[in-house]
Amino acid sequence: MKQLGKIDFLRRWSEVNEDRDGSLNLFILPDELYLSGLDLASRVDHSAFFMLRWNGQKLIEHGNAIWPHVDYPIIAQDVRDINERIPQHRIAYDETGNIAVGSLFGQDLEAIMEPIHMTNPMKIDAVNVVKFLSQLGMLELEPDGIVIGEIEEQQKVFSEAGAQRYEHPSGVHDDLFWGLALACYTAVETIIGVAPAAIETAAEAVEYGESPEDVIEGIMQHYKYNY
């Protein structure tokens, strides 16, 4: 059975909205939106925050932050300070092994924080989203930025059973890369104009026997996203 991911919705959206000349029909936003990803360290890695600005045409790198420690209360306060300076539309964070961290952000950030349990299939889905946005010319990163190097260092490996995963070479960090991946991942609903909760129902619908194509088409037709 095919596993539906956000990449499937993004690809279908690009097909539907592509003009004959290959360009994409994109709607005009009332304001620019800021979407970010927060990769939280669980042991000795760094924690990283990556911010993208969505102008209705592209996701543009706007800034990042790195914490060389696992001090969640300090990180939560820093994220709160960032949001006060630059109000965020949504911040996705990896709650894998960090489920209790969400409570540190408090009620003032609760509405914009999106916890994501980054299983290996979801990581692959997120990486595919980053790649596809780049192919569409909809992701603009600083050419000399740290994250470019981290993207280039990512290695696709396969287990003996054929399972795919991404990893980075020993001795280097990829925290900003996963912050970027989370930011792009949470941006998909904003780009395609579909309510976030609707995409979450896709896998369940497929399990009940609906074809992936019909599920995607139905969701994109009936569950519109309101800014």
Summarised one tens digit per residue, pLDDT across range 14-68 is 887 765 555 555 555 557 899 999 988 877 678 899 999 999 889 999 999 999 8
pLDDT at 156: 56
User: CA 97 to CA 135: how far, in whole Å?
Assistant: 32
Helix H segments across 3-71?
6-17
Burial code (b: 16+ CB inside 10 Å, e: under 16) for 30-66 equals: eeebbbbbbbbbeeeebbbbbbbbbeeebbbbbebbe
Confidence band of 1 (pLDDT split at 50, 70, 90): very low
User: CA 224 to CA 163: how far, in whole Å?
Assistant: 34
Average pLDDT over residues 196-207: 72
pLDDT, the chain, mean: 79
Taking the model in full, what pTM does it have? 0.84
Q: What percent of the chain has pLDDT over 90?
A: 25
Residue linked to tokens 């619908």: 205
Confidence band of 128 (pLDDT split at 50, 70, 90): confident
Worst-scoring range by mean pLDDT, 26-30, 144-148, 173-177?
A: 26-30
Residue 164: CB atoms within 10 Å: 13
Worst-scoring range by mean pLDDT, 79-83, 100-104, 150-154?
A: 150-154
User: CA 13 to CA 188: how far, in whole Å?
Assistant: 10
What structural domains does the chain harbor?
28-192 (3.30.420.240)
Query: Which position has the higher pLDDT, 12 or 153?
Result: 12
- Measured in degrees and rounded to the nearest 5, phi and psi for residue 185 equal -65, -45
Query: Which position has the higher pLDDT, 185 or 206?
Result: 185
User: CA 98 to CA 125: how far, in whole Å?
Assistant: 21
Query: Which position has the higher pLDDT, 138 or 97?
Result: 138
Give yes or no for residue 113 having a pLDDT over 80.
yes
Summarised one tens digit per residue, pLDDT across range 88-102 is 999 999 887 666 677
